[in-house]
Structure 1
Amino acid sequence: MSGLIEGLPDDVAIRCLARVPFYLHPKLELVSRSWQAAIHSPDLFKARQEVGSSEELLCVCAFDPENLWQIYDPLRDLWITLPVLPSKIRHLSNFGAVSTAGKLFVIGGGRDAFVDPLTGDQDGCFASDEVWSYDPVVRQWGPRASMLVRRYKFACCVLNGKIVVAGGFTSSGESTYQAEMYDPEKDVWIAMPDLHPVYNSACSGVMIGGKVHVLHKGLSTVQVLDNAGARWILEDCEWLQGPMAVVQDAVYLMSHGHIHKQEKDGMKVAVSTSKFGRRFWFAMIGLGDDLYVIGGLSCYDGMKLLSDVDVLTLGTERPTWHQAAPMTRCRGIIRGCTQLRI
């Protein structure tokens, strides 16, 4: 990487390139071979952190088309399409999706078992232990070390830069209470203490107050990983059932036609969501001061696959809705949705 910008030392030139937003990187690398090398260098992303130009983006995967992810840039209201995830499992679903160390991780999951009524053959994989990461430096997917346990419909969170997975179902459809942790620097999984057995282990994970919370579908029981990571603590939160998102460390739930905010004295109505009355299987996620409702199915006119993106701005006295640019390639049931900082 010599002579990136005439008259400037390369370390200064790198800091200049670091200020260019991520969506323009494919164009930057067309300038010259040295710029191409710079764009694909980890030094560029280190410089982005140093100069304060890191970007907070959203990563989304929907039912259609299969195994395709898009990244949303909220500052520019545009969508970037990633290469297709190269899993052999068609319509990968029920997986964990998180980001850490500047990469997007897609973990486990599987495909709902389909049995051919004529031959009896089962199509696809019911549960998987595979792990993929998308590296924005080289803009490619790559396989990572497999999980210790094949699982789907499990909790998945990032704790201190490491990925924690817990619970879910195995290939046989049986519940598992095993938990494990992934170190992205060493590319290894290690076993963790098991969850407490509960009636239903279809679960999801959320970070609240810097702690991993495992929520079990249909139950008020929540399992919280203690600060030492040595055991799970059972708590009865009695939260409303429905889509959940964390915005600025506050919990928001969509239920009974409203967005509710969890406060010390209980749930408080924040805003009406009557517009989503017949919209299902969408993603709800927080980014900055905003809450995003993405994709899903609409039942107003049959079963319509949606690419819509609705945004609730919460950092004001009266939260307001507005529409962002719709997904350009993805639509329908949201399979995975997470934040990515690069």
Structure 2
Amino acid sequence: MAALIDGLPDAVALRCLARVPFYLHPTLALVSHSWRDAVQSTELYKVREEVNTKEDFLCVCAFDPENMWQLYDPNRDIWFTLPVLPSRVRNLAHFGVVSTNGKLFVLGGRSDAVDASTGDQDGSFATNEVWAFDPIARKWSPRASMIVPRAMFACCVIDEKIVVAGGITVCRKIISNAEIYNPEKDVWESIPDLHHTHNSGCSGLVIGGKMHVVHKGLTAVHVLDNVKQGWTVHEHSWAPGPMAVVKGSMYVMSNGVIYKQEKEVQRVVVSASEFKKRIGFAMMGFKDDIYVIGGVISPERWNCDIKKLSDVDVLTLGSEQPVWRQAAAMTRCRGTILGCTQLRI
């Protein structure tokens, strides 16, 4: 077998390849079969960790087109398109999405596709399927299914393990079940249930290393202090609206303003009035900034089309006066954002 780089041991050559930015990896794979095998190996991921060359990417999935994900590289302001998620569910939506161990995980959800002849939603109301995308091998693979099918649920990573809780299962039944997934063993285990359910879905945030489960319209927040001991319930008068966590602090967009939520006090950060007409967007903390991505603008007149957006607006928080800027728009995805998370490669 030929050496990766003439005159160098393969271990040293691999460390050289690990310093090449991720966006150039497809080009490296064209050099030779040995280079292709190297850049698509799990060993490269480990070496990138050793030499501290991992990069952070933003992962986004929108309603249009179906089951497609894109990665955003903030250092180069460019987007990549991933292979289509091979789910059996058309227009998969209301799923959980997280990343851990260098892989993107898409869990559960239901179909947002509508049968034109009947007006009914296509497929099952909730699925328990789990998919993992390996960015090094550049492919999706199925993983162990969740114990309980669910959609519109809370999903977070705690200590490199995935925790899911609550949501809606088959027959539109609200559930309080919770479970935890070990990605190394590919095994799910049940953990204590939430203390109560609510007649809507829920979402999850990690604040201070603890998972917080928030139900829209409720002040009661479930907090996972310890997986074995289960959940505690805390009352919070948080402002309603999309939430994002940046450097351990929570920010909320409410009534055209972004607030920093400090315990029970909301501190005004900046105006966000331009987003009042936009719905279905994602708001996420990414590195040191807040990203507002995609969404739709409803028509002012009945005979106008809904405007599907691919815009990406970024709020830089590091300065004394936070300022908005526009990042490169998504190149393929547009419209309502179905999932958004950060991936380190």
Equivalent in the alignment of 1:149: 148
In the alignment, the residues of structure 2 paired with residue 37 and residue 271 of structure 1 have an alpha-carbon distance, to the nearest angstrom, of 48
Question: Secondary structure at the residue paired with 1:233?
Answer: strand
Equivalent in the alignment of 2:177: 178
Question: Secondary structure at the residue paired with 1:123?
Answer: coil
Q: Percent identity?
A: 61
Are 1:195 and 1:232, in contact at CA under 8 Å, matched by a contact in 2? yes
Number of residues paired by the alignment? Answer: 341
Equivalent in the alignment of 2:326: 323
Please give the root-mean-square deviation of Cα atoms over the aligned residues, in Å: 1.6
Equivalent in the alignment of 2:311: 308
Equivalent in the alignment of 1:125: 124
Are 1:278 and 1:300, in contact at CA under 8 Å, matched by a contact in 2? no
In the alignment, the residues of structure 2 paired with residue 96 and residue 33 of structure 1 have an alpha-carbon distance, to the nearest angstrom, of 36
Equivalent position amino acid for 1:109 in 2:
G
Matched, 1:163 2:166: no
Matched, 1:140 2:142: no
How far off is 1:229 after superposition?
3.9
How far off is 1:181 after superposition?
0.4
Unaligned runs of at least 5 residues, structure 2: none
Residue range with higher mean Cα deviation, 329-338 or 292-301: 292-301
Equivalent position amino acid for 1:326 in 2:
A
In the alignment, the residues of structure 1 paired with residue 113 and residue 333 of structure 2 have an alpha-carbon distance, to the nearest angstrom, of 23
Are 2:112 and 2:122, in contact at CA under 8 Å, matched by a contact in 1? no
Equivalent position amino acid for 1:24 in 2:
L
User: CA 1:178–1:84 in 2, change beyond 3 Å: closer, same or farther?
Assistant: same
Equivalent residues in 2 for 1:61-140 (5 A)? 61-112=61-112, 114=114, 123-140=122-139
Are 2:103 and 2:135, in contact at CA under 8 Å, matched by a contact in 1? yes
Equivalent in the alignment of 1:208: 207
Superposed structure 1 runs of 4+ greater than 2 Å apart = 112-118, 120-123, 198-201, 299-302
In the alignment, the residues of structure 1 paired with residue 266 and residue 23 of structure 2 have an alpha-carbon distance, to the nearest angstrom, of 39
In the alignment, the residues of structure 1 paired with residue 127 and residue 212 of structure 2 have an alpha-carbon distance, to the nearest angstrom, of 23
Equivalent in the alignment of 2:5: 5
Unaligned runs of at least 5 residues, structure 1: none
Equivalent in the alignment of 1:21: 21
| TM-score normalised by structure 2 residue count | 0.95
Equivalent residues in 2 for 1:185-334 (5 A)? 185-264=184-263, 266-299=265-298, 302=304, 303-334=306-337
User: CA 1:66–1:113 in 2, change beyond 3 Å: closer, same or farther?
Assistant: closer
In the alignment, the residues of structure 1 paired with residue 80 and residue 72 of structure 2 have an alpha-carbon distance, to the nearest angstrom, of 6
Cα deviation 1:44-96 (Å, max 9, x = unaligned): 11111111110011000000000000000000000000000001111100000
| TM-score normalised by structure 1 residue count | 0.96
In the alignment, the residues of structure 2 paired with residue 223 and residue 172 of structure 1 have an alpha-carbon distance, to the nearest angstrom, of 25
User: CA 1:64–1:113 in 2, change beyond 3 Å: closer, same or farther?
Assistant: closer
In the alignment, the residues of structure 2 paired with residue 171 and residue 115 of structure 1 have an alpha-carbon distance, to the nearest angstrom, of 19
In the alignment, the residues of structure 2 paired with residue 113 and residue 7 of structure 1 have an alpha-carbon distance, to the nearest angstrom, of 56
Equivalent in the alignment of 1:339: 342
In the alignment, the residues of structure 2 paired with residue 234 and residue 308 of structure 1 have an alpha-carbon distance, to the nearest angstrom, of 37
In the alignment, the residues of structure 2 paired with residue 198 and residue 134 of structure 1 have an alpha-carbon distance, to the nearest angstrom, of 31
Equivalent position amino acid for 1:89 in 2:
V
User: CA 1:133–1:116 in 2, change beyond 3 Å: closer, same or farther?
Assistant: same
